[in-house]
A and B are shown apart, each in its own frame.
Chain A
């Protein structure tokens, strides 16, 4: 080894390379974790099949599967960005991984950017898997729905990543585990994400529109069923992203 005194001064790898490396590392870690994989792929696929063989969504659109798929994609974003990333970050915080990586050239900003990137990478895989299964089951998406649909999915991922980091950065990892799993089930079933607000109890309908799950589900269905942009729902999603992001920046504890 050349000695510290005689060698060149150390340099960080470029910012882009650092963020890409971290994104890749975190995405692979997530995909290697069996529980995360169940949450990210198996449960959404089960929900997709469940909604196509039951009459919950009858009369909402051209076919059961056409109504179901946008909501299932939204559910995928919630799985990966909120529950998956939240739990992983909570435990990384417990084990000092966040503190250690903050001292490397990656830094705190690079760490967060890497996490966002890993969520988007896993979400892309989910879209491909769910999309292929859905097409096999007879899904006929509106061509005009893809562009707003994928953009909304990215916005939803941002909102849920911010919410996941807010939970992970403020409570113990065991509590993060409980909160993010419980909310995934509650919002998944009653939050307007896969089952449209109209099919929920009247008491739930009023608040569902203002939840990030309801806003994402509704705007995804508007995109893929009608090729339309639901301005109100998109605005609510944007507000959640900004508020949760600001709260995470303000209250996230690194150790």
Chain B
């Protein structure tokens, strides 16, 4: 996808951020962001995808004006967030990773207070109803479940009807129903023209929500594109073929490699569980089926999957635990 940014809601170029000095580094500074660049458009969900510690949250906090950058440029709605005043902050909504809600507060009075900071807040009843906050509006924050806290934090970020919305790990702690509710609302806000920037380490979130994805690793951009574009990043996909994975369970010890052409990867990840990955075609499936028939084998389970963003992510950022 070629992008022609007209007036992006956020553009970051060459962001550098050092933290410290840290005693664990003999008093030296640690560079947590070393040159991240990104553009986020109106009416789109832009995702920053990366492992824990990749520099996603720090990048967002520089964009929100919460942290001072060491180098690089940031333009949020055409202004530098480091020097911004209340006018810019009133047009930007922020949902922090840890919520930022006082434990002793009750949801409704807290939201009313925050709404009072804006000239044209979102009508309270509507917002509270949509996010299902009316069912716990008088319970103190410390007694709320993780999902309820997340929904309240989202409401607090939206109460000023922002043009730009930052969401740091929005689905953390959400049960499946809350997740659906929150994802539907995010999609609706995106369609209404809001520019939404979110961080996540959950590939599934990015795959479901994001129009454009930046993969961040070690404080740097390592890949970017639409979800479709990223899914097609592999040697086989580069030749126009779609990579798929076939997983089946059958008696252990079958010599699959003898049956399938060597343009696909074959592995028996544990005894009796086989994985075939590559640009699979009906020819591959047919070869397998004929072989099963000849051997009298019926797989106990069988599934064919498109390559997931998680596979791409692991390809790019490596499988080592850091």
Contacts and interface: CB of A to CB of B under 8 A. Distances in A.
Output the residue of A6, A22, A33, A107 with the most chain B CB within 10 A. A107
A18 B114 CA distance: 9
Nearest to B126: A1
Interface string B107-128: 0000001101111101100100
Nearest to B163: A4
B94 A103 contact: yes
Contact of A12 (B65, B89, B113): B89
A10 B90 contact: yes
A21 B110 CA distance: 11
Interface stretch (B98-106, B285-293, B301-309): B98-106
Give the interface size bracket for A toward B. 35 or more
Contacts of B78: none
Given A5-B193, A18-B86, A104 B64 contact: no
Given A12-B90, A103-B92, A95 B101 contact: yes
A104 B89 contact: yes
A243 to B, nearest CB: 25
A21 B117 contact: yes
A100 B95 CA distance: 8
A22 B86 CA distance: 15
Contacts, number: 120
A104 B193 CA distance: 21
B91 interface: yes
B66 A102 contact: yes
B290 to A, nearest CB: 56
A105 B84 CA distance: 10
A254 B94 CA distance: 16
A25 B103 contact: no
Given A1-B126, A10-B163, A254-B66, A100 B117 contact: no
A106 B194 CA distance: 22
Contact of A3 (B91, B92, B94, B193): B193
Interface stretch (B29-37, B154-162, B224-232): B154-162
A25 B116 CA distance: 11
B87 interface: yes
Contact of A105 (B100, B102, B160, B193): B160
A4 B194 contact: yes
Contacts of A102: 65-66
A13 interface: yes
Interface string A1-42: 101111111111101011001100100010011000000000
Give the interface size bracket for B toward A. 35 or more
Contacts of B113: 21-22, 25
Contacts of A144: none
A10 B161 contact: yes
A146 to B, nearest CB: 34
A150 B91 CA distance: 41
Contacts of B120: 7-8, 10-11
B58 to A, nearest CB: 11
A52 B62 CA distance: 57
B311 to A, nearest CB: 34
A96 B98 contact: yes
Output the residue of A3, A15, A22 with the most chain B CB within 10 A. A3
Interface in A46-83: none
A246 interface: no
A32 B104 CA distance: 10
Contact of B161 (A4, A103, A107): A4
Contacts of A10: 90-91, 118-120, 160-163
A221 B192 CA distance: 64
B189 interface: yes
Contacts of B103: 91, 95
Output the residue of B65, B92, B118, B189 with the most chain A CB within 10 A. B118
A102 to B, nearest CB: 6
Given A12-B86, A97-B100, A103-B92, A1 B122 contact: yes
A105 B156 CA distance: 12
Contacts of A95: 98-103
B190 to A, nearest CB: 9
Given A10-B118, A29-B102, 12 more contacts: A1-B122, A4-B194, A5-B192, A12-B89, A13-B119, A21-B113, A21-B117, A22-B113, A95-B100, A96-B100, A100-B96, A103-B96
14 contacts: A10-B90, A12-B87, A13-B119, A21-B116, A91-B102, A95-B98, A95-B100, A96-B101, A99-B100, A101-B100, A103-B65, A104-B89, A105-B86, A255-B66
Interface of B: 42-43, 64-66, 85-87, 89-92, 94, 96, 98-105, 113-114, 116-120, 122-123, 126, 156, 160-163, 189, 192-194
